[in-house]
Structure 1
């Protein structure tokens, strides 16, 4: 069992007690927008207490953008596989974009998918702070696809991308 696979398993187990822990790594679930809390509060849904160290501005939007992009990339790879194309090429290209060599001072993002912020505007989170978090979330989400798909070849391709993203996240976290 690989590091990403082990981590995903541990997070799945954690999710049994804290389902919100799975929000960023369950790509097959619908991505809820930042106004979800308004709907929950209006319908009697409870809210967790504030974290004494709140997330930086834009973190929620970035988390949702990563989840949506992973889902879109996975769907593109699955569609390529079903239509006789090369899903590995798509996943390799996304890996190249999300794990640039050498690391870039900008937040890495797959170039064929919309940026999580308006083009030309500065991003509200320091890329050095956000990059490993984006890579880690994407790694765990792609590992969820790798572990949950019956197509072994496609699952292996998702797993390879997950490993690459995990290594990049750990390397950039330092």
Structure 2
């Protein structure tokens, strides 16, 4: 994406280049067709060439200066963008950690409470079984079931 000021500067630089090239060609043609002696013509060509080189150096310095300015601005913006992106990433990471901690805390707390309740109940039933001398699981007495079945058969 190009900005308006880039289009203007590109257009200006292009126009300036075309102007210098056209001026150089026109000057050379004017010198070649002007009625002068060989010495004068060579001197004029040397002068025009020297002026063209000076203009080229000035233009190159100007372009280099603008390029340096653009480089600095771009570097500063990139640095700011990188810093901002780094800060945002840090904030998002911290928020994600906090959200993960919030979402796992109730689950882990409930899990721990369940484990503790199970361990307490197991300890209590085991100690009760030891003191009473009976197992912790329900045991069906087969003799009692037979007696109950006999009683039901007599009534029926």
TM bracket (short chain):
under 0.3
Q: TM-score, normalised on structure 2?
A: 0.27
TM-score, normalised by the number of residues in structure 1? 0.25
Q: Which has the higher helix share?
A: 2
Question: Which structure carries more relative contact order (alpha carbon 8 Å, separation 6+)?
Answer: 1
Larger C-alpha radius of gyration, 1 or 2?
2
